[in-house]
Homo-oligomer: A and B are copies of this chain.
């Protein structure tokens, strides 16, 4: 394992120091328990939107803290959910009588820890709700699994919900909007190489020189199947088909397309895949009205990409377009 780190145990806190130094105008970082809140928190009268999860997926979530998106992010250890006390600290720093929405990716650990934090916050008289995002079509949603995972769809979810909170929507409305977005966003990922968790020191899985893990999770969890390496055209078609067939998306739909690098895949390949996805969607009569291309939900240095489709309408489009000013997503500001 070669990484630009010191002590594997300190990697999250030391990375947060860099974030803090780089974006002191946007965020405030508190350590132990680690949480990142917008510089002007708490914003009085506003529903707080809070997310978090294991670290190693940056910019998710810490890079999305700021005006128009998250009020707080709670980064756990690498690939490990934060603990309830950290979530509670973030709630305390951002949440007033308007309440808070916790955006939780569907992993057993995240769900359990955020659930516990929400209970604790409720006990202190705060109105804190959770929405669980489970957009990964790789995992069949059945009683035989922990359910679909939360992956790339988290980015548009946080952006859109953050915009709704910013324009003054109440907690009921923000929560309902979040559930609506969760209902119409789907993703799939592939990996070409494994990530290496710093404290583990070894790649999280082995992948032959000619293999691709299709339906990878963002922690290097395996997906649907291991397939032979194939040209980008075939791979992206396989991916987009899995996503479209799931919801399903249909001819005439307007969609947001997020072509996401898993970290180790550089812009050249990410844009290349994006171009193919746009073409395939056009072929199917699905209109891409908004797009985002780049590393937004990463898995350390894992090579791979994910594709996310969110069915759009006027309200979602307006909320997506609303100003946002965070370390990693910025427009209109």
Whether A293 is near chain B, meaning CB under 8 Å from some CB there, is yes
**Which A1-18 residues sit within 8 Å CB-CB of chain B?**
2-7, 11-12, 14-18
Across the interface, do A235 and B266 meet the contact criterion of CB distance under 8 Å?
Answer: no
Residue A101 at the chain B interface, CB threshold 8 Å? no
Scoring A78, A265, A275 by chain B CB atoms within 10 A of each residue's CB, the highest score goes to A275
Closest chain-B Cβ to A38's Cβ sits at a distance in Å of 17
Assess the A267–B63 pair: CB atoms within 8 A. Answer: yes
Give the number of chain A interface residues (Cβ < 8 Å). Answer: 66
Does B19 contact A269, Cβ atoms closer than 8 Å?
no
CB distance from A195 to the nearest CB of B (A): 8
**Residue numbers in B under 8 Å from A59 (CB-CB):** 267
Digit string of A115-150 for contact with B (CB within 8 Å is 1, else 0)?
A: 000000000000000000000000000000000000
Stretch at the interface among A106-114, A177-185, A299-307, A308-316: A299-307
A268 touching B21 by the CB < 8 A rule?
A: no
A216 contacts chain B at the CB level, 8 A cutoff? no
> In chain A, residues 287-306, which have Cβ atoms closer than 8 Å to a Cβ of chain B?
288, 291, 293-295, 298, 300-301, 303, 305
Is there contact, CB below 8 Å, between A269 and B4? yes
Among the 9-residue stretches A87-95, A226-234, A247-255, the one with 4 or more Cβ atoms under 8 Å from chain B is A226-234
Rounded to whole angstroms, the CA-CA distance of A165 and B273 in the bound complex is 34
Q: Which residue of the partner chain B has the closest CB to A234?
A: B6
**Residue A176 CB within 8 A of the other chain:** no
Q: Is there an interface contact between B2 and A192, defined as CB atoms closer than 8 Å?
A: yes
Question: Quick one: closest B residue to A282, CB to CB?
Answer: B21
Check A15–B269 contact: CB distance below 8 A.
yes
A212: CB under 8 A from chain B? yes
Q: How far is the CB of A31 from chain B (nearest CB, A)?
A: 12
> Which residues from chain B contact A39 at a C-beta distance below 8 Å?
none
Distance of A2 Cα from B276 Cα, bound (Å): 18
From B7, B212, B268, A15 is in contact (CB under 8 Å) with: B268
Q: Does A58 make an interface contact (CB < 8 A)?
A: yes
Give, as a whole number of angstroms, the nearest-CB distance from A194 to chain B.
Answer: 12
Q: A6-B232, A301-B303 are in contact. List 17 more A-B contacts (CB 8 A).
A: A2-B193, A2-B303, A4-B192, A6-B233, A14-B276, A17-B279, A19-B275, A21-B288, A22-B274, A22-B278, A55-B268, A58-B267, A78-B268, A264-B266, A264-B303, A265-B301, A267-B328
Closest CB pairs A-B (n = 4):
A18-B275, A18-B271, A58-B267, A17-B275
Chain A to chain B contacts (Cβ below 8 Å), 10 pairs: A2-B193, A4-B305, A5-B232, A6-B231, A6-B232, A18-B271, A18-B274, A78-B268, A264-B266, A294-B328
